[in-house]
Amino acid sequence: MEVGMLPISASKRGKLLAAGYTTLDAIARASPTHLARGFPFQFQFSTLLSFSNWVCIYVQKFLFFSPTHYLTLTDIDVSESEATEILNLASKPSALERPNGSHTAVVGDLDNILGGGIKCKEVTEIGGVPGIGKTQIGIQLAVNVQIPQEYGGLGGKAIYIDTEGSFMVERVLQIAEACIEDMAEYSRHFHKDFQACDVKMHPNNILENIFYFRVCSYTEQIALINYLDKFITENKDVKILIVDSVTFHFRQDFDDMALRTRLLSEMALKLMKLAKKFRLAVVMFNQVTTKHIEGSFQLTLALGDSWSHSCTNRIILFWNGNERHAFIDKSPSLKSASAPYSVTTRGIRNSTSSCKRIKMM
Amino acid sequence: MRAENLLQLQHRTQKCTLGCPVLDRCLAGGVPCASVTEFVGESGCGKTQLCLQLALSAQLPPSHGGLSASSIFIHTEFPFPFRRLRHLSRAFRASHPDLPCSDPCDRVFLRAVHSAHELLNLIPTIETFLLHSKSPWRPVRIIVIDSIAALFRSDFENTGSDLRRRSSLFFGISGGLRQLAKRFGIAVVVTNQVVDLIGDGDVSFGSLGNGLYSSGRRVCPALGLAWAHCVNSRLFLSKDEDEPPVKTRKMRVVFAPHLPHSSCEYVIKGEGVFGVEMMQHREEEINL
């Protein structure tokens, strides 16, 4: 890999080249001491993080191989605490693997508008009318998070909290089988040497790596989320937490709406904390309700306005004629966009052309 | 609270047959246990017939697609069709002579309910019954509520506070039913009515059931959006009388976590409800 291909600023690239580092291999082989001495620019922690994927991997690699050079990091204008943090990151391979911490969420068009997938360390809320495919997306995410890193996934495990009872094991099996077939296809096309990996994945493994909780009341739901901290500490490789749906139990038995708001925001805070602490993606599903605005009724997500502050990203699923669409309603990093998708036997896929859909019906 | 291992859960959710292989195929085996299924349709399209038949076919052993279980039938529309149940059970006994139960009607527990609050208060009673009943006809694996809409369509006014009270009741009832369904592996079936759709309607409701036609009218399920969140699967029953002697009835999957959109025609005969193979129709649809 050429240094010239890195997505860093031209001046930095020039300095790297001038210092004699023309390939990433060269950077990787150089010890931190050499790098520190030879580096023509201040190697700050923030720049490090803003580097592309590859640099992160390589930086991680040499930090990982020579932790004894820890002190030399101070030579390159990294404070001690930052250096500790880099080392911590480096010892957890997946943390820096993708700078966004994003993972291949769903497929194709949906990933495109999401900038690569559902982001780790963030809380994403997805809402839509019944039958739009919320549970299907949830199952797809629980399966996709297990795609090994060689195939661009996270290779993690999933926690699925089911409050509505819509989770069907036979459907998970269907999607898991399709996912493994797709991976086999992918490896045949692009890599001849990943055959060994195919053997490792089996639909049963995928089922095994989904921790399923069925929750029957809102007290149970809150208790479970309090307990998750302990649970995830014991099961470190959990990479996604799916709550399907966060809403259901909070729409019954509440006369005191202030109490409900308090409970909800407390729960949201805990979920955010989990997302941050364990670097996992939290996905909550929400239901929709009608809201009376200026004389007309409009569809909005349930749980009210104060709840809408409690998620980082918000995606709304809606019907456009006969086609399912996803729309990014709120996100700090993405522009609002919408993309069509369809739910097939094999899981969530790009929307097919309309003539094909008629045949399927 | 512990995580459940999916490998130890049954790979296929247990299903209860509807008593007809064609209808079962459309539903991938029948009505799923531990989940709430809704039959929606206008009056006279066979909702109650299907429910009665389900209550009987649940008594079949698992080898025949049943659950070897009794059922609780909660009816809100009066009178209860005793004669029809007798009729069906005679036909049922004739076709399954090897069942241990002498009279299939013994295994259907009946209960009348007059208001939504009564239904809500009944749920703990059912739980006690399921836990402590000494009845020889245990276990109970089917709960039918026929119909849920009748409870809600009279008592509530169209004002903000009443509607809120109503939807809070929806979630209360559905939460209770789902809890029972999960705890005892019960298949809960509710029936719902339809309302006519006037004007363009709201397209964003999409597959909630708008754009469904029954008897040539555009209809949608009653009780609105909040209730739609309260069921896991929704099946739509419709009838059409284009040429008066020929009645076509159709069952359609509106949404379900485990089923694709599909439909199936059926007929109601003296012996029960039966699906009709519709190869011809499928070909026509493809040609369209």
Please indicate whether, in this complex, the C-beta atoms of A252 and B168 are within 8 angstroms of each other.
yes
Q: How far is A258 from chain B (nearest CA, A)?
A: 16
Domain boundaries along the sequence of chain A: 3-97, 102-360
Does B103 reach chain A within 8 Å, measured CB to CB? no
**Residue A184 clears pLDDT 70, i.e. is over it:** yes
Q: Which residues of A touch B9 (CB under 8 A)?
A: 169, 212
Q: How far is B49 from chain A (nearest CA, A)?
A: 26
Mark yes or no for CB contact B203/A290 under 8 Å: no
A315 to each of A93, A325, B22, B49, how far by Cα in Å?
29, 10, 39, 41
A337-359 confidence digits (pLDDT tens): 888 888 888 888 887 644 344 33
Q: Of A130, A135, A321, which has the smallest distance from its Cβ to B208's Cβ?
A: A130
Find the CB nearest A171 among B160, B257, B288.
B257
Q: Which residues contact B34 (CB under 8 A, 6 or more apart)?
A: A165, B13, B14, B181, B182, B185, B186, B187
Q: Which of A22, A13, A104, A96 is nearest to A62 (CA)?
A: A96
Q: Which residue has the tokens 């094999």?
A: A346
Asked whether the predicted pLDDT for residue B13 surpasses 50, the reply is yes
- State mean pLDDT over A182-206: 70
Whether B190 has a pLDDT exceeding 90, the answer reads yes
Interface A-B, measured as beta-carbon pairs within 8 A, has a size of 137
Relative to beta strand A288-293, strand A296-301 is antiparallel
The Cα of B200 is separated from the nearest Cα of chain A by a number of Å equal to: 13
CB contacts of B15 in chain A (<8 Å) are: none
Q: How confident is the model over B74-128, as pLDDT tens digits?
A: 999 888 999 999 999 999 988 888 777 678 888 899 999 999 999 999 999 999 9
Task: Express as a percent the part of chain A with pLDDT over 90.
Answer: 24
B10 part of contact set with chain A, CB < 8 Å: yes
Q: What is the pLDDT of residue A185?
A: 78
Regarding the domain delimited by A102-360, which CATH topology (the fold level of the hierarchy) does it fall under? Rossmann fold (3.40.50)
* Percentage of residues in chain B having pLDDT higher than 90: 42
Does B203 sit within 8 Å of A319, measured CB to CB? Answer: yes
From A137, which residue of chain B is nearest by alpha-carbon distance? B257
One-character DSSP codes across chain B: --PEETTTS-SS--EE--S-HHHHHHTTTSEESSEEEEEEE-TTSSHHHHHHHHHHHTTS-GGGT--S-EEEEEE-SSS--HHHHHHHHHHHHHH-TT-S-S-GGGGEEEEE--SHHHHHHHHHHHHHHHHH---TTPPEEEEEEETHHHHHHHH--SSHHHHHHHHHHHHHHHHHHHHHHHHHTPEEEEEE-EEE--SS--GGGGGGTTTEEETTEEEEETTHHHHHTT-SEEEEEEEE-SSTT--EEEEEEEE-TT--S-EEEEEEETTEEEEE--HHHHHHHHH-
Which residues 230-259 of chain B have a CB within 8 Å of chain A? 231-232, 234, 254-255, 257-258
Q: What are the beta bridge partners of residue A124? A: A283, A313
pLDDT tens profile A63-98: 433 333 333 333 344 455 555 555 454 444 333 333
Q: Which residue has the higher pLDDT, A181 or A242?
A: A242
Q: Given CB atoms, is A200 within the 8 Å cutoff of chain B?
A: no
Q: Which of B2, B4, B5, B6 would best serve as a mutation to test chain A binding (most A beta carbons within 10 A)?
A: B6
Domain B15-287 part of CATH 3.40.50.300:
yes
Q: What is the pLDDT of residues A264-304, one digit of tens each?
A: 999 999 999 999 999 889 999 999 888 877 777 778 888 88
Minimal C-alpha gap between B135 and chain A (Å): 27
Q: Is the pLDDT of residue A53 over 50?
A: no
Which residues in A lie closer than 8 A to residue B264 (C-beta atoms)? none
Residue A173 sits at the chain B interface (C-beta within 8 Å): yes
Nearest to B1 among A227, A287, A290 (CB): A227
SS3 state of residue A242: strand
Kindly indicate the confidence band of residue B160, based on its pLDDT and cuts at 50, 70 and 90.
confident
Determine the residue of chain A that is closest to B177 in CA distance.
Answer: A216
pLDDT of residue A82: 54
Say yes or no for a CB contact (<8 Å) between A253 and B1. no
Residue A199 parent element (H or E): helix A195-200
Give domain limits for chain B: 15-287
**Winning range, highest mean pLDDT, from B40-44, B161-165, B194-198, B218-222:** B40-44
Buried b (16+ CB within 10 A) or exposed e, A9-38: eeebbeebeebebeebeebbebebeebbee
Interval A137-158: pLDDT, tens? 999 999 988 888 777 778 889 9
Q: Which of A299, A253, A137 is nearest to B226 (CA)?
A: A299
Q: How many angstroms separate the CA of residue A41 from the nearest CA in chain B?
A: 50
Nearest CA in chain A to B34: A165
